[in-house]
Amino acid sequence: MTPDGETGCAFCRMSQGRIVHHNELAYAIRDAYRVTPLHTLIIPRRHVPDYFCLSEVEAVACNRLLEEAKREIEKIDPRVSGFNIGINVGETAGQTVFHCHLHLIPRRKGDVKNPRGGVRHLIPRRGDYVRNKAGDVAG
């Protein structure tokens, strides 16, 4: 997709037909392994391993696509009443594709029993931050 792309990188070889939003520096696709319906990935065109390698203008371009995708998702599905935005940086954090990408995950009331704590549930038993005082180590 880009002149400086990596040959084996799926995001550098993305089919134009999968792109739902784009600008000069980034594009968006629906996640093939979605967490919820309309789960969208925002991907910089330049091959960089993670969010912290983006230039300031690339980060702004990704943010603009996040906002554009959010508005579109809300129009497509009015039941969407919240979002999680996630970025995995490094293998330890769960990154499996080492081309930066941001997850925009639409949420609907009732999609989980208790959504309180949101992304804190990545570490088992850490989502309930009222019960688990800050600084406690998950067991």
Q: Which of 21, 47, 99, 101 is catalytic?
A: 101
CA dist list (Å): 72 to 19, 66, 125, 129? 14, 10, 34, 32
Rounded CA gap, 53 and 60, in Å? 13
Could you confirm whether 101 is annotated as catalytic?
Answer: yes
Per-residue DSSP letter, 60: H
Q: Which residues are catalytic, by number?
A: 101
